[in-house]
Structure 1
Amino acid sequence: MQGINLLPVFLVGLFGSVHCAGMCGGIVSAFSVAAPAQRAFPVAVATRTSAQVPARVLSYNAGRIASYMLAGALAGGLANGARTLGGLGALQTAGYLLANLMLVALGLHLMDAWRGLAQVERLGGGLWRRLKPLGARLLPIDGPAKLFGLGALWGWLPCGMVYSVLVTAMLSGSAASGATVMLAFGLGTLPMLVTMGVAGAALRAAMQRRAVRIGAGLLVLGFGLLGLARAAIGDQAHWLDLVCIPGMAP
């Protein structure tokens, strides 16, 4: 992991988590009320007391982040295997440009300025259709283990933001570093989803306001543009390393 700066990855997760408010907000908001979760997902959350809410939210999010880490390990391991085939310079450059272009696309998506990233989400649709019915086997959701399982399952929901960071995980150079990249990203999304799980639908509605989405989108867009600028400038501006996503480890 030498040379890998995880702070930008964490910040992308933090600022991009307004997207999570729409994707995962229905599930996590259900933890703060006694009603079942939305029927978009075939799982009813058992009745709970307010004292149980934080533990339930954390169990769910631990499972979600575990799935992110598994996906990152697979992506990083795949890239590590490809490194042995030669032509690494061109591969690394192309991957770095793709990672930052994905961040640009994510920023535009958050601002509702361009919805092309939704097409990327369709790539994971086939896998999700096979995994989604497994949620019925978790009924009733009556303990931390099942909540962890629900989160682990939901972690594979097609999400352009997750796919954007997975490209960075591929560039990290190994399965372990790929998992660490996705851990940093998952931890970045945690404050939003934990707060939403405790506060409920009110915060979810606030995070979907246009001004909030535009602000978050501009920040993520800035990360992508700075990364592209770094690729164009080369090593002349070392300060960009502090705010740009990492490239492939040497």
Structure 2
Amino acid sequence: MKTPPVVSKDEWDAARERLLVKEKELTRARDALAAQRRRMPWLAVEEDYEFEGPRGRVRLVDLFEGRRQLVVYRAFFEPGVHGWPDHACVGCSMMADQMEDVSHLNARDTTLALVSRAPQPDIERLKARMGWKMPWYTLTDGFDADFDVDQWHGTNAFIRDGHRVFRTYFINGRGDEALGTAWAYLDMTALGRQEEWEDSPEGYPQTKPYEWWNWHDAYGDTAAPPAGEEQVRRAVDSGLLPG
């Protein structure tokens, strides 16, 4: 293994500053891409897809749990998949392990759910074993084929207008690598993070940054802690807010 040179602190700081320029370019490019996603045309979902849930049959619109947006990850946990019946596939399991508490997404009127062809008793057993708490439904029809996830994993985003459902975006392949955080999932949705700094079409819901942030067990408390200047500076440096 040929390692990089060992340098002084001043040289290291200078090298890091050079890379930081490129990192900020990447952050702004990612923000611009998310802005384009928010302007993607919508595709009406005409078929009334059904799933098996812990309490019986539900429709696609029910997966929203009353919220406006829905993100659906197709996880391969079913007969014929490596790991069955003890585990979902290795890649899908890594995705599930990286998914943070769904309450952060719920706070932005967005639901995250997984779908597979495994029966509900197997899904519930796996969730209990792995400590996963996200909603997970059983596919019962051609939803996976119709939304490009019958042969490979992928993540679809939907939005709801009453009982009408629209497909707004789709990420698969290596695009899934970036998913797992609330930011990444919100960035692929039609409404985005819904914060004032975002470049969104006129009339989209937006609030001040940090106004909705909270601990995952405290979203029932509307008095979220205010952010100080140091928190704002760190968020700019990390790319969560534009700098």
Q: What is the TM-score of this pair, normalised by structure 2?
A: 0.28
Give 1 or 2: higher helix fraction.
1
Query: Whose radius of gyration is greater, 1 or 2?
Result: 2
Give 1 or 2: higher strand fraction.
2
* Structure with the larger RCO, 1 or 2 (CA within 8 Å, 6+ apart): 1
Q: What is the TM-score of this pair, normalised by structure 1?
A: 0.28
